[in-house]
């Protein structure tokens, strides 16, 4: 694999890992908020107007920003029944087909999510609930996460394209199919 391509793929993966590790800390907010909400609601009959909404608004970015790194870890749902029956070369061929599908799917979703996020940001959209927090940052997280997922799928496809099924790089720029 060309050095510049390897560097780009590594940078994408490193950034997605860093973002995933940062987004994990959102649970340090969500868990106490949910605990407070449950105690307030069921023990004191005094639910908050903000607890559940804050948890939902934080869960979105948590899951969205975890997706690209999970793709790198191969943690997404896979057709294991099919993959188990294939040889290493067959699994590789399947992945070489699968990553472009993920890229196209992300590109389509990105195309439709950017105008929604832009509109929410332009109007400083809020939830219109009793608490009324801004929701434009959460809506902006959707196209950002899709772009990162697209880039991670591209990085994984490039790595797969330039490496033989058992791991070592193909020699002299050749692609082992």
Q: What is the mean pLDDT of residues 1-22?
A: 93
Tell me the per-residue pLDDT of 120-172, one tens digit each, with 9 for 90 and over.
Answer: 999 999 998 999 999 999 999 999 999 999 999 999 999 999 885 554 444 43
Write the pLDDT tens digit of every residue in 40-54: 999 999 999 999 999
Whether the predicted pLDDT of 105 surpasses 70: yes
Of the chain, the percentage scoring pLDDT greater than 70 comes to: 91
* 99 neighbors 157 (Cβ within 8 angstroms): yes
Residue among 106, 104, 79 nearest 94 (CA): 79
Q: What is the pLDDT of residue 177?
A: 43
pLDDT score for 165: 56
pLDDT score recorded for residue 168? 45
Mean pLDDT of the chain, nearest integer: 89
Domain borders along the chain are 3-173
The pLDDT assigned to 164 comes to 58
- Tell me the HSE value of 152 on the side-chain side, using a 13 A CA sphere: 24
Looking at the chain, the whole-number percentage of residues with pLDDT higher than 90 is: 74
pLDDT of residue 173: 42
> Tens of pLDDT along 77-86?
766 777 788 8
Residue 25's pLDDT band (cuts 50, 70, 90): very high
């Amino acid at each position: 694999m060309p050095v510049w391509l390897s560097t780009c793929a590594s940078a994408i993966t490193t950034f997605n890992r860093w973002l995933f590790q940062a987004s994990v800390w959102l649970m340090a907010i969500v868990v106490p908020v949910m605990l407070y909400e449950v105690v307030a609601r069921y023990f004191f009959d005094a639910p908050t107007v903000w607890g559940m909404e804050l948890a939902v608004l934080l869960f979105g970015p948590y899951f969205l920003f975890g997706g690209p790194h999970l793709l790198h870890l191969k943690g997404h749902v896979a057709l294991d029944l099919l993959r188990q029956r294939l040889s290493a070369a067959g699994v590789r061929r399947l992945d070489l087909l699968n990553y472009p599908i993920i890229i196209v799917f992300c590109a389509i979703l990105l195309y439709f999510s950017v105008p929604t996020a832009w509109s929410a940001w332009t109007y400083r959209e809020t939830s219109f609930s009793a608490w009324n927090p801004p929701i434009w940052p959460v809506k902006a997280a959707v196209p950002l996460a899709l772009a990162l997922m697209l880039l991670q799928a591209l990085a994984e496809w490039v790595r797969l394209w330039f490496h033989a099924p058992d791991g070592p790089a193909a020699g002299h720029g050749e692609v082992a199919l």
